[in-house]
Amino acid sequence: MEAIVNCTRLYYVQMGQGIPLLLVHGYPLDHTLWLAQMDRLSDIAQVIAPDLRGFGQSDAPDGICTMVAYADDLAALLDALKIGPVVVCGLSMGGYIALAFWKKYAARVRGLILVDTRAGADAPAARQGRLDMVEQVKQHGAKPAADAMLPRLLAESTRQLRPDVVEFAHAMMLRQPPVGIIGAQLGMAERPDSTPILPTINVPTLAVFGAEDVVTPAETEGRDLAAAIPGAKLVVLPDAGHLSNLEQPDAFNTAVREFLACVA
């Protein structure tokens, strides 16, 4: 399905009935990251899984896309679909966007699920790395971004034993439009530190991290994130890396089901 929001055509999947659950993918990914959640949670949730602008089947306008701009698109999409307060579930960049959404649209949030993400801004070296990647993608397309991310996204055991998951993640990254990858990298490089807003979060919050996530490690980023949000629960999934919902869908979905049952 498609909707025009903020002059941009967004592709999205909407299915199921129950509490509205907005699934926000990471970088450089698309809504298919959430296939196992769309399939297996739609008996208890109305799942909305968009392709963010610049990714998947959505339009890919030129230029930087800030986390707030993505959040504005999501708010406009919910308006178009006439959906009230939602549980926002965001993975990595999707988590940065979920926090931007909370900051601007808190009244529209019933709960937060923050997956393999962080609140902090980039250190200077990480910011420079993004600008370097932008140059590479301008010259060579999505491949350098996909190849750089792949070894960091998945747990060692996934990479060794599950070639289907490796291939699925790699293919997803390779098909993303270069202009979308560039816009996201520039937006992430500029994102502000969201740490100060964490104590303001007064809705139920679940943090889910892969035990082997090397991008946002559970023992540092996961622990710090959950500790700063009043009442937040941290779940660490064994045998999962940065894409914990894709690598361990059953355990991930169990954690989300238990959480949703507690969200008013």
- Between residue 224 and residue 243, which ones bind ligand MLT under the rule CB under 6 A? 242
Asked whether position 142 contacts ligand MLT by CB under 6 A, the answer is no
Work out which of 188, 218, 232, 256 binds ligand MLT, going by CB under 6 A: 188
Residue type, 66: T
Q: What angle do CA 253, 112, 126 make, to 5 degrees?
A: 95
- Please say which residue, 31 or 242, places its beta carbon nearer to ligand MLT: 242
DSSP 8-state symbol, 222? I
**Considering the complex, what minimum distance in angstroms separates the CB of residue 91 from ligand MLT?**
7
- Please say which residue, 32 or 92, places its beta carbon nearer to ligand MLT: 92
Asked if residues 46 and 83 have their Cβ atoms less than 8 Å apart, the reply is: yes
Work out which of 26, 56, 178, 241 binds ligand MLT, going by CB under 6 A: 26
* Dihedral sign for Cα atoms in the order 13, 117, 163, 177: positive
Residue type, 243: L
**Considering the complex, what minimum distance in angstroms separates the CB of residue 196 from ligand MLT?**
19
* Residues contacting 139, CB < 8 A, separation 6+: none
- Please say which residue, 148 or 197, places its beta carbon nearer to ligand MLT: 148
Residue type, 133: M
- Kindly report the number of other CB atoms within 10 A of residue 156's CB atom: 12
Asked whether position 215 contacts ligand MLT by CB under 6 A, the answer is yes
Work out which of 11, 27, 55, 209 binds ligand MLT, going by CB under 6 A: 27
**Considering the complex, what minimum distance in angstroms separates the CB of residue 4 from ligand MLT?**
25
* Dihedral sign for Cα atoms in the order 143, 152, 22, 250: positive
Residue type, 99: L
- Between residue 36 and residue 95, which ones bind ligand MLT under the rule CB under 6 A? 92-93
Residues near ligand MLT, by CB under 6 A:
26-27, 92-93, 188, 215, 242
